[in-house]
Amino acid sequence: MAPLFDIAVNFGASALANKTPEIVQQALAANVSKMIALGCSIQGSHDALTVAQHYPDVVYSTAGIHPHDAKTFDDSSLAALRSLASLPQVVALGECGLDFNRDFSPRDQQKSAFEAQLKLAVELQMPVVMHQRDAHEAFVEILKKYRSQLSQVVVHCFTGTHQELLDYINLDCHIGITGWICDERRGLHLLESVPSIPDNRLMLETDSPYLMPRNIKPKPKSRNNRPANLYHIAGTVAAARKQSVEMLRRNCYNNSLNFFNLTDNEDQV
């Protein structure tokens, strides 16, 4: 079976604290051969980098400021992100974007931080991992200003409507699908929409430790999701797209390698 690539792991989350060796070992045993450690703040980006440095060629990291932390964004933040982005383990900027659901940061500051990080991505020609929740119109308005100058962008943990999906596809975005699609209460619309994602724009993620697939059997004792569960998301997505699991895994793995500019990796399948 083709290997798997988890494009979003929150190693710094409290639920995963001090468990990195166990998590990575479980992932490798489940044929999840590559993972992206997300950076969602300056300190979080440094922590993600540390994980990547400990697991070369298995874990890579991002550098970014999540909309929840946009209130902390200033000129020094941009300098710190630029410095982190120069390191070989850091393969993308983000997680950045807009979150009008929780509004942990004022919306104007969210927009400013998002736009600044997109400008940096244009300058450095780096991929961007993006977050959007309940802010689609404002998110698209900002993204459209820079999309033609950006290299590659992914709407991470997509859970939106079919029209929102079409809007992102029209902007040539990659789409990250999580265990949300395995939730019979909230994910039914994703089962219907996921066949619309072009084969070369689909990627898989756990967003660990969040979004444990609800229909996984036997049901795990812990509610903390891990990259080792990515196989189940792959199976659910393949069924929804009426594709073989092998084809789905192969496409998503290669898409992820290409997105993060790891195309020379000998593991491409």
- The end-to-end CA distance of the chain, in Å, is 10
The pLDDT of residue 266 is above 80: no
Which of 8, 128, 131, 136 lies closest to 69, judged by CA? 131
- Domain assignment present for residue 268? The answer is no
Give residue-wise pLDDT tens across range 96-117: 999 999 999 999 999 999 999 9
* Owning domain of residue 209: 4-259
Give residue-wise pLDDT tens across range 242-256: 999 999 999 999 999
Q: How many domains does the structure of the chain reveal?
A: 1
The pLDDT of residue 236 is above 70: yes
- Domain assignment present for residue 264? The answer is no
- Domain assignment present for residue 208? The answer is yes
- Domain assignment present for residue 265? The answer is no
The pLDDT of residue 36 is above 70: yes
pLDDT of residue 264: 47
- Domain assignment present for residue 249? The answer is yes
Give residue-wise pLDDT tens across range 195-215: 999 999 999 999 999 999 988
State both tokens at 82: 């630029």
- Domain assignment present for residue 48? The answer is yes
Amino acid at 50: T
CATH assignment at residue 195: 3.20.20.140
Give residue-wise pLDDT tens across range 43-61: 999 999 999 999 999 999 9
Query: Are the CB atoms for 151 and 125 separated by under 8 Å?
Result: yes
The pLDDT of residue 235 is above 60: yes
- Domain assignment present for residue 117? The answer is yes
- Domain assignment present for residue 242? The answer is yes
The model's confidence at residue 184, banded by pLDDT at 50, 70 and 90, is confident
Give the C-alpha separation, 29 to 51, whole Å. Answer: 18
pLDDT of residue 220: 81
Task: Classify each residue of 205-220 as buried b or exposed e, where b means 16 or more C-beta atoms within 10 Å of its C-beta.
Answer: bbbbbbbbbeebeeee
Q: In 86-198, where does DSSP find H-type helix?
A: 107-124, 136-146, 162-170, 188-193
